[in-house]
Structure 1
Amino acid sequence: MTPLRLKITASLYATMAVSFWGVSFVSMKAVLEKLDPFSLLVLRFGIGSLFLLSLLLVKRVRLRISFTYIPQLIVLGILGVFVHQLLQATALLTINASSAGWLISFSPIFTVILSMLFLHEKMSFRKAIGMVLAITGVLLVTATRNGSSIDFAMNIGFFLIILSTLNWAIYSVLLKKLAIPYPALLVTFYMSLLGFLLTTPFIIRNKGWELLPTLNYVEWSHLVFLGVFVSGVGYWYWGKSLEVLEASKVSTFIYLEPIATFIAAILILHEQIFLISITGGIIIIIGVIIVNGQLVPLLFNFMRKKS
């Protein structure tokens, strides 16, 4: 049985990962005003790969891996990095950042189904209650944005984001199922490097480098954030959390992503704050805690301290 301390640590890793990813929608939207999706991804993966390589060298982690696991890394890199990020970046050309953040919350639904089918994970009553609460919170958060209901128009962006949630669920289940016996940091580096190599031909074809001089320091800051914290630290921490927790449990942390997007939209885009959104955010957090089975221990420890 996994110790509670390890579960809490893994939960913190997952929380930080989805927090970075939630803010990423705002950052990508800002950069896409100047760059095409492929150029954005090349720079993002390039920065992320250099950052991860630096960490590996500092930690003195061997870069050598067995040829046996190369096909698995290629599959994970294509699904979780190249395809996933391309779908999201392209979707943001037609829908706003907040809408993308809300829609990505449906990913855990796919992950739980796939985990039941391929990882033989069970759907307990507690998990079901937690998921219902989390979904309810998402609906509350998205119910009244800018004082009115969100308009999810049936355009290509909507379809691409939903497709990316299914793709991410497949990636998370595969990452757990394959259980590549190397540090999560090393696996993340090779996936990021693969994303960089796969997108480089497109920036050459589109001559994306010609637009680089037009970027100001704010847009470059967004790119550094996307490379270091979103592509680098985020994927690394997500892999570390999957080393400890079940894929279906880790996937529920995606429900926290709209909260990060919401906060980023307030701080960066100066959007209004609604009480119903705050209430929904609290319900999302409670739902995630219930699914991960940590609500009862937390309440027990609280009551013991009070007594």
Structure 2
Amino acid sequence: MTYYKSKLTASLYATMSISFWGVSFVSTKAVLGKLDPYSLLVVRFGIGSLFLLLLLLMQRKRLLVSFKYVPHLTILGILGVFVHQILQATALLTINASSAGWLISFSPIFTVILSILFLHEKLSISKAVGMVLAITGVLIVTTTRSGQSFQFFINIGFLLMMLSTLNWAVYSVLLKSLKIPYSPLLITFYMSLIGLILTTPLLIRNKGWESFSHLNYSEWAHLLFLGVFVSGIAYWYWGRALEVLEASKVSMFLYMEPIATLVAAVLLLDEKVFLISVAGGIIIIIGVIIVNGQLMPMLVNLIMKKRR
């Protein structure tokens, strides 16, 4: 009974993490009207770093790390926080939040491609089919309405969002291969701190603090959400879920992220939902599931449940 309770709790942690990450696109989009991407990220990383530090102090965790792992943490902070968040925040200047949510689910495809190129994994027929489906879904999502027809166009925002998914795949591979012997909470704290250090000079250059007085209570609430729940709690809960569930099972929760983004975008930003975009997003997710070899297990489990 205790085992199933711990699994249920871990699933709840993973669900909350994905929900926070999904809504993050909406909160970022809501604040970009007042702040430039760099100023937004400085506030977010500042709040996140302070919150994570308080968590570490409350848990009486050791803050010092070996000098040996400083380069590792620096690389992860640059890729996983600084570059990744700047790409996404800049992309959201020209695309809507729901489209960003669908496109970010393409990241596992890049992970598989990197594994084939650098880890010499074999490209099976099922993986090839899944990739073709996922790429087709991306092309559909990046289609815009023009009158009664839909025409594809190249938008810099879509390109930046795709680059962010590639960057996240590189970061994920590095995070796994570097094997830093510290808790996810401590690693996340240093990554957020590195992001704060790297973006602060850009805030100073642009005099971003002059825009802070223009923010209303709602926009400050979005920034607090990004700092505390997205940069802090989401990463922390994700690590706690991984302590109980297998990585492959936890990764299944990633398919819920675009749904969280879509719902939040409609409720908070009044974004219009185009069926063509939803169809493209579903195709992306199906393609990713096929590439990960998770389609057949899902179908078997569904059939077994119906028989019961």
Same fold judged by TM-score > 0.5?
Answer: yes
List per-residue Cα deviations over 1:146-175 (Å, max 9, x = no partner).
997776631322221111111111001100
Q: 2:265 maps to what in 1?
A: 265
- Alpha-carbon distance in structure 2 between the residues aligned to 1:23 and 1:159: 21
Contact 2:131/2:288 (<8 A) preserved: yes
Counterpart for residue 77 of structure 2? 77
TM-score normalised by L of structure 1: 0.79
Aligned to 1:163: 163
Q: State how 1:9-24 maps to structure 2 within 5 Å.
A: 15-24=15-24
- 1:196 corresponds in structure 2 to 196
Give the Å deviation of 1:136: 7.5
Aligned to 2:26: 26
1:108 aligns to 2:140 (yes or no): no
Q: Deviations over 1:188-215 (max 9, x none)?
A: 0000000001111111111111111111
> Relative to structure 1, is the Cα distance of residues 121 and 147 closer, same or farther in structure 2, using a 3 angstrom cutoff?
farther
Q: Distance in 2 between matches of 1:146 and 1:258?
A: 24
Give the letter for the 2:156 counterpart: I
Looking at structure 1, the residues matched to 279 and 94 of structure 2 have their Cα atoms a distance apart, in angstroms, of 29
Q: 1:110 to 1:83 in 2, by over 3 A?
A: same
2: CA distance, partners of 1:46 / 1:119: 37
Deviations 1:70-122 (A, max 9, x none): 10000000001001101111122222222222222221111112234445666
Equivalence map 1:132-151=2 (5 Å): none
Gaps of 5+ in 2: none
- Shifted more, 166-175 versus 89-98: the winner is 89-98
How much identity, in percent, do the aligned residues show?
71
Residue 254 of structure 1, CA deviation = 4.6
> 1:87-98 alignment to 2 at 5 Å?
87-98=87-98
SS in 1 for 2:200: helix
What is the DSSP-based 3-state SS (H/G/I as helix, E as strand, rest coil) of the residue aligned with 1:181?
Answer: coil
Which residue matches 2:207? 207
Once the two structures are TM-superposed, the CA of residue 301 in structure 1 deviates from its matched residue by 9.5
Counterpart code for 1:98: S
Residue in 1 that maps onto 2:231 = 231
CA contact (8 A) 1:119 1:173 kept: no
**What stretches of structure 1 of length at least 5 have no aligned partner?**
none
Per-residue CA deviations over 1:254-277 (Å, capped at 9, x if unaligned) read: 543322211111211234567787
Matched residue type, 2:162: I
- Matched length: 305
1: CA distance between counterparts of 2:149 and 2:171? 32
Moved more, 264-273 or 216-225: 264-273
